[in-house]
Amino acid sequence: MAEADIDFSPILIMDFIRQMAVVRVLNSEDLNLATKFKISKKYYDEIASFYIQAPFIGMNPSYDESSEILTVKPEERVIEHFKSQKSLIEMCGKCEGLYKERYKAYVEVCEA
């Protein structure tokens, strides 16, 4: 992964993961789509042990240590919440590239 330009923040990384997983489902229109992220065990452990887990509510994360892949499948209620809030969808779409670049030292979306 790339060198970090910003400090690691578990809550911001979790929010990025949430947004990217939801945007991918909405763009594909496949409610069963799971998004994969490359994230080292060190950073995953920081996220998993962070005292605030709100961004991961309804996200069903699953981490494979050997491949360092985090798989996230949003629940339908999360998808419906984003659909009902058009501004959330617009914000996620506009910020996707910026966030990918900003957090690339910590987490990367695995492209299908």
Per-residue pLDDT of the chain (112 residues; tens, 9 = 90+): 555 567 899 999 999 999 899 988 988 889 899 999 999 999 999 999 999 999 999 999 999 999 999 999 999 999 988 888 777 667 766 767 778 888 989 999 997 6
In this prediction, residue 73 carries a pLDDT of 96
Q: Is residue 80 part of a domain?
A: yes
For the entire predicted model, the pTM comes to: 0.88
Total number of domains in the chain = 1
Residue 22: give the domain boundaries.
10-109
In this prediction, residue 91 carries a pLDDT of 72
- Residue 62: strand pairing partners: 71
d(C-alpha 30, C-alpha 49), whole Å: 30
In this prediction, residue 107 carries a pLDDT of 94
d(C-alpha 41, C-alpha 63), whole Å: 9
Q: Is residue 1 part of a domain?
A: no
Q: Is residue 98 part of a domain?
A: yes
In this prediction, residue 40 carries a pLDDT of 96
In this prediction, residue 58 carries a pLDDT of 95
